[in-house]
Amino acid sequence: MSTDPLPLDRRQLFIGGEWRSASGGGRFDVIDPADGSVLTDVADGTVDDARAALEAAVAAQADWAATPPRERGEILRRAFDLVTSRADDLARLMSLEMGKTVAEARGEVTYGAEFLRWFSEEAVRVHGRWMQAPAGGSRLLTVKKPVGPCLFITPWNFPLAMGTRKIGPAVAAGCTMVVKPAGQTPLTMLLLADLMTEAGLPAGVLNVVTSRSSGKVSEALMADPRLRKVSFTGSTDVGKVLVRQSADQLQRVSMELGGNAPFLVFADADIDAAVAGAMIAKMRNMGEACTSANRFLVEEPVAEEFAAKLAERMDALRLGRGQDDGVDVGPLIDADAVADVTALVDQAVGAGARVVTGGTTPDGPGFFYRPTVLVDVPVDADVNRQEIFGPVAPITTFATEAEAVERANATEYGLAAYAFTRDLARTIRLAESLDFGMIGMNTGLVSNPAAPFGGVKASGFGREGGFEGIEEYLDTTYVSLPAG
Ligand code: NAP
E strand segments, 310-415? 354-357, 372-375, 392-398
Interaxial angle between packed helices 69-85 and 87-98, expressed in degrees from 0 to 180 and rounded to the nearest 10: 70
Tell me the Ramachandran region of residue 136: left when phi exceeds 0, alpha when psi lies from -120 to 50, beta otherwise.
left
HSE at residue 153, side-chain half, CA atoms within 13 A, is 29
Contacts of 240 (CB under 8 A, 6+ apart): none
Q: What is the pLDDT at residue 483? A: 85
Q: Looking at the CA of residue 237, tell me the nearest atom of ligand 1.
A: 3
pLDDT in tens, 207-257: 999 999 999 999 999 999 999 999 999 999 999 999 999 999 999 999 999
Q: How many Å separate Cα 229 from the centre of its chain?
A: 18
pLDDT at 5: 86
Beta carbon of 238 within 6 Å of any ligand 1 atom: yes
What's the CA angle centered on 94, arms 155 and 189, to 5 degrees?
55
The answer to whether 8-257+459-479 and 261-448 have equal CATH topology is: no
Distance from Cα 484 to the centre of ligand 1, integer Å: 53
| pLDDT at residue 456, rounded to an integer | 98
CATH fourth-level superfamily of 8-257+459-479: Aldehyde Dehydrogenase; Chain A, domain 1 (3.40.605.10)
Specify the ligand 1 atom closest to the Cα of 455: 41
Domain ranges of the chain: 8-257+459-479, 261-448
**Which of 391, 302, 312, 338 lies closest to 101, judged by CA?**
391
The best mutation among 111, 218, 219, 233 to test binding of ligand 1, ranked by most ligand atoms within 8 Å of the C-beta, falls on 233
d(CA 181, ligand 1 centre) in Å? 9
Instruction: Tell me if 157 CB under 6 Å of ligand 1.
Output: yes
The answer to whether 412 is a known catalytic residue is no
| Predicted local confidence at residue 2, as pLDDT | 45
Please provide the size of the chain in residues: 484
Residues of the chain with pLDDT under 50: 1-2
Distance 438 CA to ligand 1 centre (A): 20
pTM exceeds cut of 0.95: yes
Residue 215 carries which side chain, given as an amino acid letter? G
CATH-assigned architecture of domain 261-448: 3-Layer(aba) Sandwich (3.40)
Select from 153, 227, 453 the residue to mutate for testing ligand 1; criterion: most ligand atoms less than 8 Å from CB.
Answer: 153
pLDDT the model gives residue 484: 72
The residue annotated as part of the active site, out of 256, 299, 387, 464, is 256
- Residue 198 annotated in active site: no
Can you give the pLDDT at residue 1?
37
Nearest ligand 1 atom, CA 212: 47
